[in-house]
Amino acid sequence: MINSKIQDSFNKQINAETYSAYLYLSMAAYFSSINLPGFANWMRCQAQEELIHAVKFFDFINERGGEVTLTAIDGPPTRWDSPLHAFEEAYKHEQKVTALINGLVDLAISERDHASSTFLQWFVNEQVEEEASTYDVVQRLKLAGDQGGGMFMIDRELAARTFVYPTTATQGA
């Protein structure tokens, strides 16, 4: 049985992961509106990934005999000053999520909840990837500057990203 502190914190994380999906969908809409379909595709894939994260917490709570409580999700921003600004905000957001996950790990350790601690290790590793991928795009956008050719090349590269629904073997939880 999952304890109430862990359950409440995991329910909050479901909300945070779902908000992340909303944020990335909003960024996808922004990129579509400025005719950067590759950027929009990257963000749509990211939104799908965030929903999977929310479902992992949802399933874990249920598997541990807990109760999932879904709460209202705040509306995300809808405009950014530039593609670079949007990706800088995505990077900051991923850093915030990393801090949330680290807080959950600390809680699981303090509550001596080894099952939750083990479950969370997948997210610790995932956040390393999440931060690295957004930071990489930020750096490439800084290099490209306002050059149309560089932006076009980055857009084409980001268009190649595909969302792959995780299988049981790769879910890690």
Distances (CA, A) of 11 to 54, 85, 127, 148: 9, 30, 19, 43
Q: Given the structure tokens 């490439």, which residue do they identify? A: 140
* 47 has pLDDT over 80: yes
* 146 has pLDDT over 90: no
* Residue 134, number of CB atoms within 10 A of its CB: 21
Token pair of 64, please?
């541990």
Nearest to 38 by CA among 164, 173, 151: 151
The CATH fold assigned to 4-67+83-164 is: Ferritin (1.20.1260)
* 172 has pLDDT over 70: no
Token pair of 92, please?
């900051």
pLDDT for the residue numbered 2: 96
* 69 has pLDDT over 50: yes
**37-46, 59-68, 76-85, 155-164: range with lowest mean pLDDT:** 155-164
